[in-house]
Amino acid sequence: MTLYRHFGSKDALVLAFLERREERWTKEWLQSEVERRATDPAQRLLVIFDVFDEWFQRGDFEGCSFINVLLEIDDPRSELHRASADQLARIRAFVAGLAIEAGVGDAEGLAHKWHILMTGSIVAAGEGDRGAARGAREIAALVLRDAG
């Protein structure tokens, strides 16, 4: 009952969790680590996979909450599904911003490809491939080279 005094429903609790997760995971961790580790925008794009690699090696790695909720709630009309998809879109927007700063002509196209590599590496790590970020980084370097 205490839980429902603070959150009107299970969905409201999950939405609050996703908002907090975006703040802590996306902004306070991923974006700040990428910005801290590199100043060059093209290098920042690649550093995403270095940050992921360290994350995948952690004993408490359990995948991405946004992907997990998106896959669990497969109804695109669901508020939870939309919230997860929106948060993933904001990650793509962060990548697109880096691509613009790096002078990539089709920043949105690169961000889409980058996001596939990011989410794919997360899922692969969840399957047990803890080296997935390193493989994704190799592919990303080729994508970046071809975009330049």
pLDDT, the chain, mean: 90
Which tokens in the block code for residue 105?
């002509």
Give 46's Cβ-side CA count (13 Å radius): 17
**2-147: CATH architecture:** Orthogonal Bundle (1.10)
Which stretch, 14-18, 51-55, 66-70, 86-90, has highest mean pLDDT? 51-55
What pLDDT shows up at residue 140? 98
Give residue 7's pLDDT band: very low, low, confident or very high (50, 70, 90).
low
pLDDT band at 111 (very low <50, low <70, confident <90, very high): very high
Res 16: pLDDT: 78
Tokens of 4: 């429902």
What would the pLDDT profile of 24-70 be if each residue is shown by its tens digit? Answer: 888 889 999 999 999 999 999 999 999 999 999 999 999 988 888 88
Residues present in the chain in total: 148
pLDDT at 8: 61
User: Is the pLDDT higher at 114 or at 15?
Assistant: 114
Q: What is the 3-state secondary structure (H, E, C) of the chain?
A: CHHHHHCCCHHHHHHHHHHHHHHHHHHHHHHHHHHHHCCCHHHHHHHHHHHHHHHHHCCCCCCCHHHHHHHHCCCCCCHHHHHHHHHHHHHHHHHHHHHHHCCCCCHHHHHHHHHHHHHHHHHHHHCCCCCHHHHHHHHHHHHHHHHC
- Residue 5, pLDDT score: 60
Q: How many CA atoms lie within 13 A of 33 on its CB side?
A: 16
